[in-house]
Structure 1
Amino acid sequence: MQSARKIAIKNFKRRFADTEETFEKQWNELSTSIGAIQTQQKVGTSLEQLYKTVEVIASTEKGASMAYHLLVAKIRSHMSSCRENVSFDKSPEDFLTTLNQLWANHWEQTLLIRNIFLYLDRTFVLQDVGKASIWDASLSIFREEIVESTRIRHRLILDLLGIIKRERQGEKVDRSLLRSLLRMLTNLQLYSSIFEGPFFEETKNLYSAEGEALVRDLKPTEYLVHVEKRLFEEEERVDVYLDENTRKPLIAIVEAALIEAHTNTILTKGADSMITGGCYDDIRRLYELLGRVKDGHNRLRNSFSNYIKKVGSEMVADSERDATLVNDLMEFKEKMDHIITICFADADRFWQAERDAFDYFISTRPNKPAELIAKFIDSKLRLANKEASDEEMDHLMDRVVAIFRFIQGKDVFEAFYKKDLAKRLLLNRSASVDAEKIMLAKLRQECGSAFTHKLDAMFRDMENSKEYMTYFKQYCDHLQDQGTKQLPMEFNVNVLTCGQWPSYDIAEMSLPQELSMCLTRYQDFYTSKHANKRLQWLHALGNCVLKATFRTGCVKELLVSLYQCLVLLLFNCKSEWTYEEILANTKIEAKELQRTLQSLACAKVRVLLKVPKGRDINSDDKFTVNTAIQEKLFRIKISQVQMKETPEEHAKVEEEVSADRQYAIDAAVVRIMKTRKTLPHTQLIQELFSQLRFPVKAADLKARISSLIEREYVTRDPDDPNIYKYVA
Structure 2
Amino acid sequence: MGKPDGPIKLEEGWAMMEVDTNIYNMCTQKLPYDHSEQLYARYRTSLQNYIEECVVPSLKDLKGVSLLRTLCRRWQNHTLMVRWMSRIFSYLDRYYVQRHNLNSMNEVGLLVWKEVVHEVIKSRVTDAILELVERERDGEAVDCPLLKNSLATYQEVGMGLLDAYEKDFEAALLQTTAKYYKRKSAGWLETYSTPEFLSMAEACLKAEENRVDAYLHVSTRTKLLSTTETELLKEHSLSLLEKEGSGCAALLRDGKKEDLARMFRLFGRIPKGLEPMAAIFKDFVESEGMSHVRAATEAAVSKQAKEKDAGKAGKDGAAAPEHQFIRVAIDLHDTYSDYVVSYFGSASLFHKALKEAFETFCNKQIGRATVAEAMASFCDSLLRKGSTSEKLTDDEVESLLDRVVKLLAYVSDKDLFAEFYRTKLSKRLLGTHMASEELEKGVLIRLKQQCGTQFTSRMEGMVHDLAHAKDKMEEFVRWQKKRGVTLPVELNATVLTVGFWPTFKKIEPTLPEEMLMAMNQFTQFHEAINNGSRRLTWHHTHGNVLVRATYDKTYELVVTPTQATILALFNDATSLKYVEIQEATNIDSDDLERTLASLVFAKHKLLSKEPMGRTINSTDTFAYNAGFKDRMRRIRVALPPLEDRRKVKEDVGKDRVHIIQATIVRIMKSRRVMKHQELLVEVVGQTQKMFAADVKLVKKQIESLIEREFLERDEKDTAMYKYVA
Cα distance in 1 for partners of 2:413, 2:541 equals: 29
Residue 430 of structure 1 and its aligned partner are, at CA, apart by 1.5
Cα distance in 2 for partners of 1:447, 1:542 equals: 32
Q: Could you tell me which of 426, 431, 444 is aligned with 1:440?
A: 444
Residue 435 of structure 1 and its aligned partner are, at CA, apart by 3.4
Counterpart in 2 of 1:82? 58
Cα distance in 2 for partners of 1:671, 1:615 equals: 59
Residue 560 of structure 1 and its aligned partner are, at CA, apart by 3.8
Cα distance in 2 for partners of 1:475, 1:70 equals: 123
CA contact (8 A) 2:509 2:562 kept: no
Counterpart in 1 of 2:265? 288
Counterpart in 2 of 1:660? 655
Deviations 1:328-363 (A, max 9, x none): 444444444434433344455655665566566645
1:384 aligned counterpart, secondary structure: coil
Q: Partner amino acid for 2:698?
A: L
CA contact (8 A) 1:550 1:627 kept: yes
* 1:451–1:723 CA distance, 2 compared to 1 (3 A): same
- 1:315-714 maps to which residues of 2 (within 5 A)? 319=297, 322-347=322-347, 351=351, 362=362, 368-384=370-386, 395-463=399-467, 465-474=469-478, 476-477=480-481, 487-509=487-509, 511-523=511-523, 525-526=525-526, 531=532, 535-547=536-548, 551=552, 556-565=555-564, 606=604, 616-617=614-615, 631=631, 634-638=633-637, 640-641=638-639, 644=641, 646-647=642-643, 649-669=644-664, 680-692=675-687, 693-710=690-707
CA contact (8 A) 1:51 1:116 kept: no
Deviations 1:293-336 (A, max 9, x none): 22345665566556666655666676455323444444444444
Residue 232 of structure 1 and its aligned partner are, at CA, apart by 0.2
Counterpart in 2 of 1:220? 194
Cα distance in 1 for partners of 2:666, 2:226 equals: 59
CA contact (8 A) 1:54 1:116 kept: no
* 1:490–1:144 CA distance, 2 compared to 1 (3 A): same
Counterpart in 2 of 1:168? 137
Deviations 1:605-626 (A, max 9, x none): 5556989999944657988859
* 1:222–1:582 CA distance, 2 compared to 1 (3 A): farther
Deviations 1:90-139 (A, max 9, x none): xxxxx51x334434553576588779979866678999868996997599
Counterpart in 2 of 1:246? 220
Q: TM-score with structure 1 length normalisation?
A: 0.73
Deviations 1:145-198 (A, max 9, x none): 6x7666xx6665444433432332334444455445444555566654443333
Q: Partner amino acid for 1:663?
A: H
Q: Which has the larger radius of gyration?
A: 1
List gaps (5 residues or longer) in structure 2: 27-34, 159-163, 301-320
Cα distance in 1 for partners of 2:691, 2:80 equals: 89
**Same amino acid, percent of matched pairs:** 28
Moved more, 411-420 or 574-583: 574-583
Cα distance in 2 for partners of 1:266, 1:615 equals: 68
Q: CA RMSD in A?
A: 5.1
Counterpart in 1 of 2:210? 236
Residue 505 of structure 1 and its aligned partner are, at CA, apart by 1.9
Cα distance in 1 for partners of 2:222, 2:71 equals: 28
Deviations 1:430-483 (A, max 9, x none): 1233433343344445444444443344344435543443344345556766xx
2:546 aligned counterpart, secondary structure: strand
Residue 231 of structure 1 and its aligned partner are, at CA, apart by 0.6
1:424 aligned counterpart, secondary structure: helix
1:371 aligned counterpart, secondary structure: helix
Cα distance in 1 for partners of 2:479, 2:42 equals: 134
CA contact (8 A) 2:413 2:691 kept: yes
* 1:227–1:561 CA distance, 2 compared to 1 (3 A): farther
Cα distance in 1 for partners of 2:201, 2:612 equals: 69
* 1:557–1:266 CA distance, 2 compared to 1 (3 A): farther
Moved more, 486-495 or 379-388: 379-388
* 1:618–1:140 CA distance, 2 compared to 1 (3 A): same
Deviations 1:240-277 (A, max 9, x none): 23333322221121122222333344444544444555
Cα distance in 1 for partners of 2:287, 2:128 equals: 53
CA contact (8 A) 2:286 2:360 kept: yes
Q: Partner amino acid for 1:654?
A: K
* 1:594–1:167 CA distance, 2 compared to 1 (3 A): farther
Cα distance in 2 for partners of 1:618, 1:274 equals: 59
* 1:476–1:212 CA distance, 2 compared to 1 (3 A): same
CA contact (8 A) 1:110 1:135 kept: no
Residue 371 of structure 1 and its aligned partner are, at CA, apart by 2.6
Counterpart in 2 of 1:16? none
Q: Partner amino acid for 2:262?
A: R
Q: Partner amino acid for 1:77?
A: E
2:139 aligned counterpart, secondary structure: coil
Cα distance in 1 for partners of 2:93, 2:678 equals: 85
Cα distance in 2 for partners of 1:683, 1:695 equals: 17
Cα distance in 1 for partners of 2:675, 2:59 equals: 90
2:106 is the alignment partner of 1:102: no
Q: Partner amino acid for 1:470?
A: E
CA contact (8 A) 1:51 1:117 kept: no
Q: Partner amino acid for 1:375?
A: S
CA contact (8 A) 1:50 1:116 kept: no
Residue 427 of structure 1 and its aligned partner are, at CA, apart by 0.8
* 1:601–1:212 CA distance, 2 compared to 1 (3 A): farther
Cα distance in 1 for partners of 2:84, 2:679 equals: 95
Q: Partner amino acid for 1:694?
A: F
Q: Partner amino acid for 2:656?
A: R
Cα distance in 2 for partners of 1:431, 1:165 equals: 72
Counterpart in 1 of 2:315? none
Counterpart in 1 of 2:183? 209
2:490 aligned counterpart, secondary structure: coil
1:419 aligned counterpart, secondary structure: helix
List gaps (5 residues or longer) in structure 1: 1-33, 89-94
* 1:452–1:112 CA distance, 2 compared to 1 (3 A): closer
Cα distance in 2 for partners of 1:298, 1:717 equals: 45
- 1:188-207 maps to which residues of 2 (within 5 A)? 191-207=165-181
CA contact (8 A) 2:212 2:220 kept: yes
* 1:691–1:138 CA distance, 2 compared to 1 (3 A): closer
Q: Partner amino acid for 2:424?
A: D
Cα distance in 1 for partners of 2:399, 2:74 equals: 76
